[in-house]
Amino acid sequence: MDSPTFVRFQLGAQLRRLREAIKVPTERAAAVIKVSPSTLRRIETGRVGIKGPALNALLTAYGVDNTELRETLLTMAREGKRRGWWAKYGDLPEVYRQYIGLESAADEMLNFETIVVPGLLQTEAYAHAMTSEDAFDPGPEAIAQRVDARMERQKLISQGTLQLVAVMDEAVLHRQIGGPQVMRDQLAALLQAAALRNVTLQVIPFRDGAYASMLSSFAILNFPHGPGVVYIEGLTGDLYAEGEDLRRCLTVFTNLRSSAMSPSASLEMIQQIRDAEHQP
């Protein structure tokens, strides 16, 4: 795998399924490897890795005697210890590093945004204006690292390794993040991105009134190997959901695309707003 984060995420999900299948409480499983329940939860969500001896102890406690499965999971644990390209940005929050790692392994993203331009399509100036307004007041060096990491992430789009379908509320196009010139350049960048074969943009216009999920942005990441996940960013924590939650979000995204204008009509709107509201 190119992304150790994705390997950790898949390994953690498998360990959670094994534990839940035999109805072992988190506290009892954590005691097996002498860690806190919160640490085990971090392992099961892929936020931290697990060493071979601890993994072997868990698998024994879970009654896993399939040699091939054990070796596969041990290999995943070793792969999950590698450092991704984002490790050079040492000041990135842990939750952001995990998201970048999963995104790097995806081959498709279905992204819905209500307020801001999708991160993979932001210009450097727009991203800087966004990051500078973080409520936790990151310093200049932290801001620079986060913006640089966002620009690096965009290689997934420019190199064509990720298919992006982005649906945006019309509010995204009007909100003056960074000021008129920054927004003018940002709208121009959206038009340029939409010309790429792996990018599809659609806008839900104000005139359509209420629609599904209008209060919640989310991103669905689909992978060439393994089930997809839905990512929902929250003020008090980020959520990764699978299974039935993923299926529900896929249904919502399909409805959002139906509510949105066609890609060609959406680009026409972006061009009109750029010309009308952001004259040089």
DSSP-assigned letter for residue 139: -
pLDDT over 60 (residue 183): yes
Could you tell me where the DSSP H helices lie in the chain?
Answer: 4-21, 26-32, 37-44, 52-61, 67-79, 94-105, 124-132, 140-153, 155-158, 171-174, 180-194, 243-259, 263-277
pLDDT over 80 (residue 225): no
Confidence of residue 279 (pLDDT cuts 50, 70, 90): low
User: Token pair for residue 12?
Assistant: 């953690």
What is the distance between the terminal CA atoms of the chain, rounded to a whole angstrom?
46
Mean pLDDT over 257-279 rounds to: 91
- % of the chain with per-residue pLDDT over 70: 95
Instruction: Tell me the HSE value of 217 on the side-chain side, using a 13 A CA sphere.
Output: 19
How many Cβ atoms from other residues are within 10 Å of residue 73's Cβ? Answer: 22
Q: What pLDDT does 236 receive?
A: 53
pLDDT over 80 (residue 15): yes
Residue 125 CA, chain-centre distance (Å), reads 21
Pair 204, 260: CB distance under 8 Å? yes
Mean pLDDT over 27-55 rounds to: 92
DSSP-assigned letter for residue 136: T
Q: Which of 77-86, 103-112, 145-154 is predicted least confidently?
A: 77-86
- d(CA 68, CA 234) in angstroms, rounded, equals 38
Per DSSP bridges, beta strands 108-113 and 163-169 are: parallel
Mean pLDDT over 226-253 rounds to: 81
Mean pLDDT over 62-71 rounds to: 90
Q: What pLDDT does 97 receive?
A: 83
Can you give the pTM of this predicted structure? 0.80
User: Token pair for residue 190?
Assistant: 């959206």
